[in-house]
């Protein structure tokens, strides 16, 4: 580890200690219920998830590598067909195959914006080999089209739409970075915005009430998970810190549901998380909700109707095993 990296990490650890010590947690019994819906036709993990209307898209990632999965994982090739796209019709409770990505990728950043899907960056190999590729999928045309590439090639970028622009925050090539790009879809170009105070990847990003919320994530690897909550104000082009998440996690599924930011699952050395914790931006507090039925990491979440859908993901840390489950969470 270089001197610069050591100095960066030391600063990050110190900042985390302060944030964690001041994190308010609202004490309450677990709430909400989990159910399952139709399983995916193909097991997946390290995929990207987004919804347009009542259709959920699961894009890219790893699919099972058969009996040699652990060998393939060690060599950096656990993914067999990272171009796979599958769609779930919530009303019909049915899966179908969609139009494949132009290139097989995992850890792709994704967002639904203007009735289309936008993807940014990703890895060509297992959690490595970052690319600057970016594409848009138009359901009306049923095809992917390349757009301007990401200025800095990286995977595991956190992506969210805010005020008519798409924000790309953090991610990693060789090391975690705090880069913050803003994509203008109508002009097909990027501009720079204030970077994260501490660069990280495998992070959640949610837009709420005119601000961006960057949730947890890791510094380089899951041995250095964090619980940071950083909030970006576009009016001042600045980040401020809020109450830290009670648990240190990365690789979670993060989404906005009932005006709270839910962080579900995640990854650590030795296993995965079942944690289901939600942040109330107005109260600056975290609450615990009913945990996932089984630990998951490496997937996303989408809200359709009055439920959170968490498709696929890995029940073990790393890339050696994927799942076909579709978990559904509801509050009364």
pLDDT per position as a tens digit, 30-79: 699 999 999 999 999 999 999 999 999 999 999 875 433 333 333 334 44
CA distance 176 to 194: 16
- The bridge status of strand 143-146 relative to strand 134-138 is antiparallel
Q: What pLDDT is stored for residue 45 in this prediction? A: 95
Q: What pLDDT is stored for residue 319 in this prediction? A: 85
Nearest Cα to Cα of residue 309 among 51, 79, 125, 44: 51
CA distance 104 to 118: 15
Q: Taking the chain, what is the end-to-end CA distance rounded to the nearest angstrom?
A: 49
- In order of their start, the domains of the chain are 3-330 (2.120.10.80)
pLDDT tens digits, 271-292: 999 999 999 999 999 999 999 9
Q: What is the mean pLDDT of the chain?
A: 89
Q: What is the DSSP letter of 332?
A: -
Q: What pLDDT is stored for residue 24 in this prediction? A: 56
pLDDT tens digits, 222-232: 999 999 999 99
pLDDT tens digits, 180-190: 999 999 999 99
Q: What pLDDT is stored for residue 65 in this prediction? A: 56
Other beta carbons less than 10 A from residue 146's beta carbon: 11
């Amino acid at each position: 580890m270089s001197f610069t990296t050591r100095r960066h990490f030391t600063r990050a650890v110190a900042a985390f200690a302060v944030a964690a010590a001041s994190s308010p947690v609202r004490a309450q019994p677990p709430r909400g219920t989990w159910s399952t819906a139709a399983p995916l036709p193909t097991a997946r993990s390290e995929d990207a998830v987004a919804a347009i209307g009542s259709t959920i898209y699961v894009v890219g990632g790893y699919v099972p590598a058969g009996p040699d999965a652990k060998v393939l994982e060690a060599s950096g090739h656990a993914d067999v067909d990272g171009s796979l796209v599958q769609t779930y019709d919530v009303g019909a409770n049915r899966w179908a195959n969609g139009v494949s990505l132009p290139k097989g990728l995992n850890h792709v950043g994704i967002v639904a914006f203007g009735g289309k899907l936008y993807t940014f960056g990703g890895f060509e190999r297992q959690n490595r080999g970052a690319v600057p590729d970016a594409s848009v999928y138009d359901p009306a045309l049923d095809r992917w089209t390349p757009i301007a590439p990401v200025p800095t090639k990286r995977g595991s970028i956190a992506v969210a739409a805010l005020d008519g622009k798409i924000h790309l925050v953090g991610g990693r090539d060789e090391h975690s970075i705090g880069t913050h790009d803003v994509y203008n879809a109508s002009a097909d170009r990027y501009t720079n915005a204030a970077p994260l105070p501490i660069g990280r990847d495998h992070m959640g990003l949610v837009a709420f009430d005119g601000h961006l919320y960057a949730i947890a994530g890791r510094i380089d690897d899951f041995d250095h998970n964090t619980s940071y909550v950083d909030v970006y104000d576009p009016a001042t082009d600045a980040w401020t810190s809020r109450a830290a998440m009670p648990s240190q996690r990365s690789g979670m599924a993060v989404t906005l549901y009932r005006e709270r930011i839910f962080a579900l699952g995640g990854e650590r050395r030795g296993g995965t998380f079942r944690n289901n914790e939600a942040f109330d931006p107005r109260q600056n507090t975290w609450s615990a909700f009913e945990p996932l039925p089984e630990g998951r990491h490496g997937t996303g979440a989408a809200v359709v109707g009055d439920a959170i859908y968490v498709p696929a993901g890995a029940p073990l840390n790393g890339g050696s095993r994927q799942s076909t489950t579709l978990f559904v969470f509801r509050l009364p």
